[in-house]
């Protein structure tokens, strides 16, 4: 697209060169891709999210949170339809007192008037203090970050950009919430009255079990080829030592692990294996019984061509569906995630599974709210004030 | 619908058995149907509404109100289009500091992705603290209340559900605001400077007049058969002693009082009579001159089949229209209500009537805001804090 | 339209007779047309805007601002699509703590139910404290102001009305922000560290230059005939002494200065000249080099008939386009404005110009936010509290 022309030369660079431009003194200026989520940053954001949810348990904590960013205004620019991510960001903003504004119709009046999208973005940055955007256009969020950087160089008004889903490519904040859910599962803390570790009990059954995200076996099941959430999360997890990944998908070109991602993960030292059923034999035992975490996905239908759609209709999806029996055979501590929505017709996770303690997908959604709030705290650089608020609350 | 399956067995029970599940220790957990509006609860909500409107007269009162629920977030899930009810709930939330979120498009992205509506509701309950919903699907709000109750039993996150209009069946908060308007009219208090009763003066002309909602004659005029507001209000009023009701509608099957409601009202001890003109002779005098309250409605056109529509086109609607002359013959104290919108083509209430002191329909709309705020105060159980705020304000 | 009938007799009066009804004791009750923007009022609003932007630079100033109207609720009723004006008003409201509500779909449910638009407006005034409206219907905003005035006479609830763009006729708040941008440009103050005047330096090159909006030459370029922003701004500027205006447009009936406006400006004492290129010879030198301010516009396409559209397609628009070369020949202090959006296909202002210090169009957008906030402060009569806030802040 012509309007991206000033920045196209920046798009085909190695991701490391890009990402230095999206940060400043070790803190993010923009979040554009999942590769920005280093283990250190993940640790920071997860602990900030923990603080926020602790504060949110009390009325006075909520008041302190809502005061943090009450002088800021956010633009949620979601031209790709999305209910869940949108509402999650809305709630995250509201927790921190950020006032929300939205543009969701892809055919806004300005486009009718042939305004370039870069002009729209700069308009948003005139009125608002952060732009949270989701778009079908692959490089749009990235180009917006470059535009903001250029304005900053010219000593003009510039605001942070959050990529809330861009094309079929990246969805870094989904990876962030998935990671946060896994991180909390693998600390094995029980949080009913006070905090108590379940690890000693679990070791009776699983003697080799250790806490933490590393040294675990992750299974991704369903639409591996097109699920940007799988791609983003796998990249994030690949940074941790001793990681194994099983990719379980139907034998169809569109749905299988693509070669680029496979090579990238292997280069990172991940042990990668591919299967075509949750019951596949792995060293003599069914896969479903040997994993530490199961990440289910929906077979995406909305972007299929007619021929692909009819091919997918032919597939037997039973091997990629959970059942109560299968869930019962999953390790007792292993979290089951799903980025949602799930497909109520295919039923990759039937509602009977919802009450199982391993089913984390509703908690995962709520985690998204907390960790997105943490991301906002980070981008606006108010973590210090957040921690002061907590200290103040503990004293009183 | 399959997604309601876990709860369908609960739908065909007597309303009393249902309603015990929608309350807890005498306080509402959810509001689903007008039968929950007992005289005691109506009294509580109306007095709470009075307190809210008194506080809202002053800047410091407004500040106190806005502080009441400022740590809460509401979801307004309105897939059936509605401007008036929607905005009234928005305003009610805003008065109390509740942050509003909305989903209004019936074709949300998640439905495109074949998400079940129950999953959508549970997502909303992850992010928000109350769900206010309006839907064309008859039992949807009720099933959502059951889902929330089940989650509560499982010690999971659960939030209150408000039915803001469900199918052609129930619209309990409209009945609530209609009742509040009638309740205020029949206390006969003048509220210009201080509060003074008009009753002694009125008794000169109407010696038998007493204050209160009971012992009155109510006329409902227009679309009796399909107006869910008529149905809900009539049920609410039927709980009061000495109530007479006149139903005035064209002689068309779709528009007349249906048999179920007639029987129900009679069983409750209401004196029920049906007429086909506002000028009908009742004991030797025109109906319009003998009523204590007139509830006008619009002939609904939006759900008509083509054949019904053409039949309705043939009807002479003059007998169901107000005129200045007719209004002048209504008792001087009798409130004229209309749930609005009114039909500007049919003109069941022409604008000339608007300046008559009996015309309560604009005040009725504003009452909706106050009494919906009262309902939120009740559901979130902050009536005590509201009354403390008023006491604090009176002292200062 | 029939629904406007009660007020149509008021529409065909001289604008002075109208405008006395839109004010009270020298303060605006409603803002309906640009003729209400007298030099005194412009001065008041611009200085209020300056105060607001100074306060907004600091966290405590922002808190004070957000407290000013936090007990008020606004309705943004934008049935004519608009992103920029809408968001600008949203941001202005949010700066002052006003809660925003919106109705944007021209086909609201109430219209489906044949509600008159005047009933919709009165409903809005029941729930909200101000109505900010943009509509394609020519006299709608004006009639709403009359409705509110009538309600006030009847001692009923009445709220201020802001015309945020009405038909092709008036857009007074755009004129206000254009004026504010020009006013700030022509005070020649540098606002980097403290405030310092650039005027002495400029006088070296331009000995006759004086500060202020009067005694300047303004060029309007592009779609003169249909741009309501040109019409409104020209009227506002015509009130200042020594004003010259150059109108530069293609030689097409739809795009040229219309006769009514030409006569009106001349009556006001403005020197008016018309040209068909930015390079036109004016007293021996190109026009572009002789102007103090350049107001660019987009050739509007959205309301063209098919025949007009094809005629416009034939036009050579080069003479009405800025280039870097042309900008370099504009006087060094002369602000270049554009009401935006600009047309990215026609390119009346190419992006290369954006970094020129004369390019004011992005600042102009942000100015719109400040001066609309100032207008809200004026309409709600809280300027005193604003100034107290500033004094309080300076002390602390």
CB–CB contact B113 A341 (8 Å): yes
CB–CB contact C114 B301 (8 Å): yes
Beta strand C196-197 with C285-286 is unpaired
Calculate the average pLDDT of chain A: 94
Q: Which chain B residues have a beta carbon less than 8 Å from that of A227?
A: none
* Cα C81 versus chain centre, distance: 17
pLDDT at A108 over 80: no
Q: What is the 3-state secondary structure (H, E, C) of A67-87?
A: HHCCCCEEEEEECCCCCHHHH
For chain A, the chains sharing at least 3 beta-carbon pairs closer than 8 angstroms are B, C
For residue A26, name the pLDDT band (cuts at 50, 70, 90).
confident
Neighbours of A381 (CB within 10 A): 13
Which residues touch C233 (CB under 8 Å, ≥6 apart)? Answer: C34, C174, C175, C178, C179, C220, C295
Q: What is the mean pLDDT of residues C187-201?
A: 85
pLDDT digits (tens, 9 = 90+) for A346-363: 999 999 999 999 999 999
pLDDT of residue C1: 47
pLDDT digits (tens, 9 = 90+) for C68-98: 999 999 999 999 888 999 999 999 999 999 9
Neighbours of A200 (CB within 10 A): 9
Q: ∠ CA A244-A245-A249 to the nearest 5 degrees?
A: 160
Q: Which chain B residues have a beta carbon less than 8 Å from that of C120?
A: 83, 341
CB–CB contact B355 C154 (8 Å): yes
Q: Do domains B2-170+367-395 and B187-334 have the same CATH topology?
A: yes
CB–CB contact C83 A3 (8 Å): no
Q: What is the CATH number of domain C187-334?
A: 3.40.50.1370
Question: What is the rounded CA–CA span in Å between residue B44 and residue B174?
Answer: 17
pLDDT at A1 over 50: no
The lowest-confidence range among A236-250, B112-126, C57-71, C204-218 is B112-126
Q: Which chain A residues have a beta carbon less than 8 Å from that of B120?
A: 83, 341
CB–CB contact C81 A123 (8 Å): no
Do the Cβ atoms of A170 and A232 come closer than 8 Å?
yes
**CA distances for A254 relative to A225, A230, A258, A338, C336, angstroms:** 6, 14, 9, 20, 52
pLDDT at C381 over 80: yes
CA distance C214 to chain A (A): 29
Question: What is the rounded CA–CA span in Å between residue A337 and residue A357?
Answer: 12
pLDDT at A333 over 60: yes
pLDDT at A138 over 90: no
Q: What is the 3-state secondary structure (H, E, C) of C330-381?
A: CCCCCCEECCCCCCCCCCCCCHHHHHCCCECHHHHHHHHHHHHHHHHHHHCC
Question: What is the rounded CA–CA span in Å between residue C321 and residue C318?
Answer: 5
pLDDT of residue A114: 85
Give the right CATH number for A187-191+198-334 from 1.10.10.10, 3.40.50.1370, 3.40.50.2300, 3.40.50.1820: 3.40.50.1370
Question: What is the rounded CA–CA span in Å between residue B113 and residue B103?
Answer: 16
Q: What is the CA radius of gyration of chain B?
A: 21
pLDDT of residue B211: 96
Question: What is the rounded CA–CA span in Å between residue C129 and residue C71?
Answer: 9
Nearest CA-CA partner of A209 in A193, A197, A194: A197
Placement of tokens 């180009």 in the chain: A143
For chain B, the chains sharing at least 3 beta-carbon pairs closer than 8 angstroms are A, C
CA distance B322 to chain A (A): 43
Virtual torsion, Cα A276, A277, A282, A284, nearest 10 deg: -130
CA distance C134 to chain A (A): 13
Q: What is the mean pLDDT of residues A13-40?
A: 95
Phi then psi for C214, rounded to 5 degrees? -75, 170
What is the DSSP code (8-state) at residue C22?
T
pLDDT of residue C106: 67
Nearest CA-CA partner of A173 in A341, A363, A375, A27: A375
Beta strand A99-103 with B23-24 is unpaired
CA distance B52 to chain A (A): 21
Q: Which of A103, A112, A154 sits opposite C355 (nearest CB)?
A: A154
Interface of B with A (CB under 8 A): 2-3, 6, 70-71, 73, 75, 99, 101, 103, 108-110, 112-116, 118-120, 122-124, 126-128, 154, 156-157
Q: What is the mean pLDDT of residues A33-61?
A: 96
Enter the tokens of residue A330: 């999953």
Give the right CATH number for C2-170+367-395 from 3.40.50.1370, 2.170.190.11, 2.40.30.30, 3.10.290.10: 3.40.50.1370
Q: Which of B87, B302, B365 sits opposite C112 (nearest CB)?
A: B302
Domain boundaries, chain B: 2-170+367-395, 187-334
Which residues touch B279 (CB under 8 Å, ≥6 apart)? Answer: B286, B287, B288, B319
CA distance A235 to chain B (A): 25
pTM of the model: 0.96
Do the Cβ atoms of B133 and B144 come closer than 8 Å?
yes
Q: What is the pLDDT along chain B (396 residues), one digit of tens a residue?
A: 478 888 999 999 999 999 999 999 889 999 999 999 999 999 999 999 999 999 999 999 999 999 999 999 999 999 988 899 999 999 999 999 999 999 987 666 566 678 899 999 999 999 999 999 999 888 999 999 999 999 999 999 999 999 999 876 789 999 999 999 999 999 998 877 677 899 999 999 999 999 999 999 999 999 999 888 999 999 999 999 999 999 999 999 999 999 999 999 999 999 999 999 999 999 999 999 999 999 999 998 877 888 888 898 899 999 999 999 999 999 999 999 999 999 999 999 999 999 999 999 999 999 999 999 999 999 999 999 999 999 998 887
For residue A282, name the pLDDT band (cuts at 50, 70, 90).
very high
The three-state secondary structure class of A267 is helix
Long-range contacts of the stretch B275-281 (C-beta < 8 A, 24+): B275/B246, B275/B247, B275/B248, B276/B248, B276/B249, B276/B250, B276/B251, B276/B319, B277/B248, B277/B319, B277/B320, B278/B219, B278/B221, B278/B248, B278/B319, B278/B320, B278/B322, B278/B326, B279/B319, B280/B248
Which residues touch B108 (CB under 8 Å, ≥6 apart)? Answer: A81, A83, B120
CB–CB contact A127 C344 (8 Å): no
Q: Is 3.40.50.970 the CATH number for A2-170+368-395?
A: no
Enter the tokens of residue A58: 């009390």
| C87, C223, C226: best to mutate for the A interface, most A CBs within 10 A | C87
Which residues touch A150 (CB under 8 Å, ≥6 apart)? Answer: A6
Q: Which of A63, A94, A344 sits opposite B73 (nearest CB)?
A: A94
Q: Which of B110, B127, B154 sits opposite A91 (nearest CB)?
A: B127
pLDDT digits (tens, 9 = 90+) for C22-45: 999 889 999 999 999 999 999 999
Question: What is the rounded CA–CA span in Å between residue C110 and residue B90?
Answer: 17
Do the Cβ atoms of B56 and B371 come closer than 8 Å?
no
Question: What is the rounded CA–CA span in Å between residue B155 and residue A229?
Answer: 30
Nearest CA-CA partner of A36 in A154, A135, A161: A161
Q: What is the mean pLDDT of residues C367-374?
A: 98
Placement of tokens 């304005």 in the chain: A151
């Amino acid at each position: 697209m012509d309007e991206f022309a000033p920045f196209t030369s920046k798009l085909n660079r190695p991701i490391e060169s890009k990402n230095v431009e999206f940060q400043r003194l070790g803190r993010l200026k923009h979040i554009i891709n999942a590769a920005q989520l280093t283990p250190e940053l993940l640790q920071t954001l997860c602990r900030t999210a923990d603080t926020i949810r602790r504060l949110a348990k009390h009325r006075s904590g909520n008041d302190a949170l809502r005061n943090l960013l009450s002088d800021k205004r956010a633009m949620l620019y979601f031209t790709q339809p999305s209910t869940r991510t949108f509402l999650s960001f809305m709630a995250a903003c509201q927790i921190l007192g950020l006032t929300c504004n939205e543009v969701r119709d892809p055919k806004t009046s300005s486009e009718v008037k042939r305004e370039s999208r870069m002009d729209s973005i700069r308009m948003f940055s005139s009125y608002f203090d952060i732009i949270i955007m989701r778009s079908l256009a692959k490089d749009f969020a990235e180009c917006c970050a470059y535009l903001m950087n250029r304005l900053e160089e010219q000593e003009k008004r510039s605001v942070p950009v959050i990529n809330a889903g861009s094309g079929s490519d990246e969805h870094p904040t989904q990876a962030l919430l998935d990671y946060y859910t896994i991180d909390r599962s693998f600390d094995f803390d029980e949080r009913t009255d006070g905090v108590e570790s379940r690890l000693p009990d679990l070791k009776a059954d699983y003697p080799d079990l250790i806490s933490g995200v590393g040294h675990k076996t992750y299974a991704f099941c369903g639409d591996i080829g097109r699920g940007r959430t799988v791609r983003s999360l796998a990249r994030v997890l690949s940074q941790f030592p001793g990681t194994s990944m099983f990719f379980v998908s139907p034998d169809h070109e569109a749905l299988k692990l693509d070669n680029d991602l496979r090579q990238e993960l292997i280069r990172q030292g991940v042990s990668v294996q591919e299967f075509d059923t949750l019951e596949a034999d792995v060293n003599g035992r069914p896969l479903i019984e040997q994993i530490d975490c199961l990440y289910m996905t929906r077979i995406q239908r909305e972007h299929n061509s007619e021929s692909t759609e009819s091919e997918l209709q032919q597939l037997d999806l039973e091997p990629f569906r959970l059942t109560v029996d299968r869930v019962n055979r999953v390790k007792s501590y292993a979290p089951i995630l799903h980025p949602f929505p799930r497909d109520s017709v295919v039923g990759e996770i039937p509602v009977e599974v919802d009450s199982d303690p391993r089913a984390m997908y509703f908690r995962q959604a709520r985690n998204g709210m907390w960790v997105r709030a943490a991301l906002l705290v980070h981008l606006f650089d108010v973590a210090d004030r957040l921690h002061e608020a907590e200290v103040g609350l503990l004293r009183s």
